[in-house]
Amino acid sequence: MSDSNEHELLIKTPKQLIYAVVAAFVIPIFVIIMLAYYVSSSEKPAAGTNAFSEEAVAARLAPVGTIDFVDANAPKVLKTGDQVYAAACAACHTAGAAGAPKFGDQGQWSARLSKGFDTLWKNAVNGIGAMPAKGGNSSLDDIEVARAVAYMGKEVGADFKAPEPTAPAAETPAADAPAAEAAK
């Protein structure tokens, strides 16, 4: 057999044993305390990010939506032509989507304007081609749609007059046709 030091212990004296035991307890405790201090100290965002800025935090905490409570018995306030255009018509007529004539483009509107206000209004109320009835906003009154048609027509040089409601109850294309004709 050979004489080797393979099986010798690293701790040879009681003093070394005490140092090893103390180090085995003190070093992990010291590491835990340093990690806790690092984690609980001030915010440490990554370089170049503003994820913890007041604006970014406020944006994340902002409500997703809102609810507007409306009195069902209150009289409806009718929108103007430009308000209806912005709410229902602009999505297609600004870009000319699905063959819609672009807002303010006289060349695209000229053939349509020659049909007259009543035809344009009825097509807008009932839908035509790819355009849904009332531009897809069924909550609009027919008088509001007429105002939007007049607004878009005026932008390309038509002399359409935005109609005013004649009676609060009757607001269908058939009932308002005389009022719309007079508004021409």
Q: Is 177 among the domain residues?
A: yes
pLDDT of residue 117: 80
Q: Is 74 among the domain residues?
A: no
Q: Burial code of 105-136, b = ≥16 C-beta within 10 A, e = fewer?
A: eeebbeebbeeebbebbbbbbeeeeebeebbe
Do 148 and 86 share a structural domain? Answer: yes
pLDDT in tens, 29-65: 999 999 998 888 776 666 667 777 888 889 889 888 8
pLDDT of residue 45: 62
For residue 46, the enclosing domain spans: 9-67
Phi/psi at 45 (nearest 5 deg)? -70, 160
Do 172 and 138 share a structural domain? Answer: yes
Do 86 and 44 share a structural domain? Answer: no
Identity of the highest mean pLDDT range in 11-25, 97-111, 147-161: 11-25
CATH number at residue 121: 1.10.760.10
Average pLDDT, the chain: 79
Q: Is 129 among the domain residues?
A: yes
Q: Do 80 and 152 meet the contact criterion of CB atoms below 8 Å apart?
A: no
Q: Burial code of 58-75, b = ≥16 C-beta within 10 A, e = fewer?
A: eeeeeeeeeeeeeeeeee
Q: Report the domain count for the chain.
A: 2
Helix axes 142-155 and 106-113, enclosed angle (nearest 10): 130
pLDDT in tens, 130-174: 888 888 877 788 888 888 888 888 887 777 777 776 655 444 444
Q: Do 31 and 22 meet the contact criterion of CB atoms below 8 Å apart?
A: no
